[in-house]
Amino acid sequence: MRILGIETSCDETAAAVIETDKNSDRVRLISNIISSSLPLHSKTGGIIPEVAAREQIKYIIPVIEKAIKNIPLTQIDKIAVTIGPGLIGSLLVGVETAKTLSFVLNKPLIPVNHLFGHIYANWVGLKEEINFPAIALVVSGGHTDLVLMESHGKIKWLGGTRDDAAGEAFDKIGRLLNLSYPAGSLIEKLAKDGNPNAYNLPRPMIDSNDFDFSFSGLKTAILREVNTIKKLDNKKISDLCASSQQAILEVLIKKTLFAVKRFNPKSLLLGGGVAANQRLRDTLAISLINNNLSLKLLIPEKILCTDNAAMIATAAYFNSADLPWKKVNANPELYFD
Ligand code: KG4
Ligand code: ZN
């Protein structure tokens, strides 16, 4: 079966084709095209929804055209599209395009929750089975959630952030340090030259014995530090990057291990843009070993951590509930049930 995935929830315009075979759950990636309007948003220090939506309109057809370059649309079996959560203007571009394709080509249309997509990035190109139950940590620019996955599509929300998401914390701290938006990967890079213990930053809710997070206090703590520094030189910026990254990762890892110890899952899945952070990937793996937790850790390759359409097509394959195109609508507030 071939599925065309379409993702336009924020500032990435993405289309991908996956292929699955009848006898296994293997997902082969045929094409994965991503066009980002990020350079535009770097200039304004954040995403202006209207600008993002206009860029989606510019790129949606060229991106789909590129994704189906070697596969005629007639050989696509189903179409999958992100319906939320996200920015309404951006979402509408993908949803309306997918509905049009479904209508014109008479192909089934599968609406996909973007957050499920981040989890399903783990199945793309995988050569082995993922065993359930699984705990998944979704860490992106808009979300930080821990969920228990009992089987495909059966996802129970355990907890999430009460204020800023982990990626949002990276981005807001970056802004305080005059780094370009989005700051996550740059903070990771600069942190390599910094001392993670240089600043004594809070680890909000680290011992709260639940699955909730809070990152806004960390941003305020950095603001306080920045205001006391006379000259923000490169050394201080690296130290602040290393210290804030350390604080964010410690909280993410401690809460994830708390969930693993509580539910004793067979697999631990990571997803979302922050999962591209190499220090998070390495430290989480080491922490599992140090805590004698022998479950399987899966983390998508970095290009599949940030927004893409391969994860949307894959989530659709495993939860294939197509709807008549008339019933598919964008839902910016969609969340885990
Ligand atoms: O999943 P994503 O592409 O978009 C959302 O669904 O939000 O995630 C984007 C977020 C941004 O906040 C960005 O700063 C963060 O992921 N990010 C990182 C890294 N790469 C991207 N955060 C920390 N370290 C990274 N290497
Ligand atoms: Zn995302």
Residue among 185, 278, 282, 304 to mutate when testing ligand 1 (max atoms within 8 A of CB): 185
CB 108 within 8 A of CB 71: no
Protein residue with least CA distance to atom 8, ligand 1: 273
Which ligand sits nearest to residue 7's alpha carbon?
A: 2
Cα(139) to centroid(ligand 1), Å: 8
Task: Report CA(217)–ligand 2 centroid distance (Å).
Answer: 23
pTM for this one? 0.97
Out of 90, 118, 170, give the residue to mutate to test ligand 1, the one with the largest number of ligand atoms within 8 Å of its CB. Answer: 170
Sheet holding 154-160, edge to edge: 154-160, 144-151, 134-139, 267-271, 296-298
Distance, CA 238 to ligand 1 centroid (Å)? 19
pLDDT of residue 94: 98
Residue 245 beta carbon below 6 angstroms from any ligand 1 atom: no
Query: Is any ligand 1 atom within 6 A of the Cβ of residue 185?
Result: yes
Cβ neighbours, 10 Å, residue 21: 10
pLDDT tens-place string over residues 148-196: 999 998 999 999 999 999 999 999 999 999 999 999 999 999 999 999 9
Question: Which ligand 1 atom is nearest residue 170's CA?
Answer: 14
Ligand 1 atom nearest to 12, measured from its CA: 3
Among candidate residues 141, 117, 134, 82, the one with its CA nearest the CA of residue 277? 141
pLDDT for 45 = 82
Q: Comparing C-alpha atoms, which of 330, 331, 314 is closest to residue 116?
A: 314
Residue 34: CB atoms within 10 A of its CB come to: 19
d(CA 140, ligand 2 centre) in Å? 6
Ligand closest to Cα of 167 equals: 1
Q: Is 11 helix (H, G, I), strand (E, B) or coil?
A: coil
pLDDT of residue 25: 82
- pLDDT, residue 183, reads 96
Residue 17 in contact with residue 2, Cβ under 8 Å?
yes
Q: What is the pLDDT of residue 204?
A: 94
Q: Tell me the CA–centroid distance for residue 229 and ligand 2, in Å.
A: 34
pLDDT by 10-residue block (mean), the chain, 337 residues: 97 97 89 92 87 97 97 94 98 98 97 98 94 98 97 96 97 96 96 98 96 96 95 96 98 98 98 98 98 97 98 96 96 94
Give pLDDT, residue 320. 85
Closest CA to 305 of 211, 180, 167, 173: 167
Ligand 2 centre to CA of 114 (Å) is: 6
Alpha helices in the chain (DSSP H): 38-44, 49-67, 88-105, 114-120, 166-176, 184-191, 216-228, 234-263, 278-290, 302-305, 310-318
Kindly give the number of the ligand 1 atom that is closest to the alpha carbon of 168: 12
